Structure 1
Amino acid sequence: MLPFVLASASPARRQLLQQIGIEPIVQPSHFDESVIQATTPTELVRLLARCKAETIAHTYPPPAVVLGCDSVLVMDGNIYGKPASAAEAIARWQRMRGQTGELLTGHALIDVTHGYTSVDVETTQVTFAQVSDAEITDYVMSGEPLACAGCFALDGRGGAFVEKIIGTPSNVIGLSLPLLRRMLARMGYALTDFRPPCI
């Protein structure tokens, strides 16, 4: 069984991997995202995911693969990551309600043994409910939106405020499981290489 290293502190990403039988080694990159300049949301998440994965891959001994991810919500031409405060989260939800945006997640997978890197982006369309100011305030006060790109967690309380998704649900939670499987396959790996055999 090969080590699978997750260059992220996200509990949601860890749980998604556990859901498919992979127990990742969690090694947050602590990469300074402010140093990255990009002209498009796709370029931004690709660069951030790659930098996060490379930060860990350079220090992790083979054999292993390292996964770095980064997510943003794009709406009306604006790029949204995690809100900086409760006030920002409330204001953002007041703009988001009743609207449709795109959740982009960059995935960077590095095969430490062979020095091969694969980077890809998954996009999922998300339509938000027409929620009231009281519902928004209550949700933000729970603290959940402050830890999430896009200011909501599909797999948490925020799931009640999402009316429709077009695309891969796991991508909205933090990483696209189907895309991860395809990226591993391009490197010559199967999911079973990273999980214990079924008994």
Structure 2
Amino acid sequence: MASTVESVQCFGRKKTAVAVTYCKRGRGLIKINGCPIELVEPEILRYKAFEPILLLGRHRFANVDMRIRVRGGGFTSQIYAIRQSIAKALVAYYQKYVDEQSKKEIKDILIRYDRTLLVADPRRCEPKKFGGRGARSPALSDVKDSSSPEAGVGVVAALQFLPDDISMERSLGYDSFMSSRKIAIEGESCWLIHLDFGSLMID
């Protein structure tokens, strides 16, 4: 009767990336999606994937083979999911097939360096809210606050084309005007209006 293979399977997560590691007794091979871990991309994040090995030493991985499948997320999230699944798989293998003391030593080293090597990071990007530019920042208003020191100081010139028989105040909805005068532009009657922001009436 064939002996059962000593193996464990663990997963690591980061945001939407999921890495599943199948760990069994072997001779120290670690492959990610069929490629050796030494060729993992991007190169700038390669040492992140190597962190469990560098922390614990090659001798602890000498008698196991690991096959890792990762999907989802981006490059950075996948690397963090890979390192977590490697660490969790080794801890689970030592707990099941070696001894509790060795497993505890490995776990303490990993936790002391970075807790996310064994515990999933629950942080997520907060979604943007309607009416604003982002998750938290409020929408900027174009209307000046009448209580601010600048209110009532700034003066703007506006052109409004109006028939002669319509009241300028009633049509524009402003309570008071600093000054106004009627002019003619290209044969049309219009008002050149200087508005006081402090007296702006909003219904």
TM norm. shorter chain > 0.5: no
TM-score per shorter chain, which class?
A: under 0.3
TM-score, normalised to structure 1, is 0.26
- Give 1 or 2 for the bigger CA radius of gyration: 2
TM-score, normalised to structure 2, is 0.25
**Structure number with higher helix proportion:** 1
